Structure 1
Amino acid sequence: MRPSEPRALDRTFCPPKMTGALLVSLVSCLIAISQASLINRCDLARVLRKEDLDGFEGYSLNDWLCLAFVESNFNISKVNENADGSFDYGIFQINSHYWCNDYRSHSENICHEDCQDLLSPSLLSSIICAKKIVSGAGGMKNWVAWRLHCAGRPLSYWMTGCFLG
């Protein structure tokens, strides 16, 4: 074979069965990791109701569920970097420039929270901060995704099948 010709992959060190098993193991681990931070829609509704968000500042549980879905797809540990260098944290994607301190850039830290606390499975820090955001000017309109996908739309289906007892 001349040096300019591409060489076929040498599979002597990686038999096909081993490659398949490795791939299945890797995918299984990734699925387990990604699902570990998700919360079920109805479980989230129960938590939000327990924390008195149903009707808070005029917003129903349906509004809160829609917000959590469009912002994070119910991912409690989601972190997203924005074009301006700020980050959004947690199930409600709360921004580090205004609401929490991530110690990476200047923050007004209006909620007086470490951004990492917004990733807690208990959701308490996220809920307290979200209440502060909604209580201020603009309410849920502070979230662009809520304005685009939830505001003024029928949202009753978000509670379908959820028994809050």
Structure 2
Amino acid sequence: MKSLQLLLPIVACLVAKVYGKIFSRCELASVLKQWGMDGRQGYGLGDWVCLAYFASTFNTATVMHNADGTSEYGIFQLNSRSWCADHHSQSENFCSMSCSDLLTNDIEDDVICLQKATAKAGGLKTW
């Protein structure tokens, strides 16, 4: 019985979806470059990296709760009111995704959602 109690948490860790990663500045710049963010809307890689640093300190697992009941999720702190659904607040869910998807190691969906968010009025200035 004791060996089962020790084995269960280990198996759970192996099966569970991996959440959260802290990117290095260069690693994030490389990913953003692959996704065509260098020069997007007139902003260079440094601007996008700076956004991620000040929004989340490059941590994909960052969640910030706002006084209005919405939350900001992931490395770019995308708001639940407009961009993702978190089941805590009313959302337009323009990115058609769960906010928890913004908290994983894989930021492909984060970058795609960021592209949609910054294509709206105000662009990167809204941050």
Identify the TM-score tier after normalising by the shorter chain: 0.7 to 0.9
1:92-144 CA deviation, whole Å, 9 max, x = no partner?
A: 0000011110111210111111101111211011100100011111010111x
Query: Does residue 130 in structure 1 map to residue 81 in structure 2?
Result: no
Is 1:70 aligned to residue 54 of structure 2? yes
DSSP 3-state at the match of 1:64: helix
Partner Cα distance (1:55, 1:121) in 2: 24
Counterpart-to-counterpart distance in 2, 1:105 and 1:95: 10
Moved over 4 A (4+): none
Q: Which residue of 1 aligns with 2:94?
A: 110
1:50 aligned partner: 34
Bigger radius of gyration = 1
Give the whole-Å Cα distance in 2 for the aligned partners of 1:70 and 1:115.
19
Secondary structure of the residue aligned to 2:46 is helix
Separation in structure 2 between the aligned mates of residue 136 and residue 95 of structure 1, nearest angstrom: 14
Q: Report the TM-score when normalising by structure 1.
A: 0.63
The Cα shift of 1:37 comes to 2.2
TM-score, normalised to structure 2, is: 0.82
Percent identity of equivalent pairs: 47
- The unaligned stretches of length 5 or more in structure 2 are 1-19
Structure 1: 5+ residue runs without aligned partners? 1-35, 144-165
Aligned to 2:15: none
For residues 55 and 120 of structure 1, the distance between their equivalents in structure 2, rounded to whole angstroms, comes to: 26
CA contact (8 A) 1:39 1:75 kept: yes
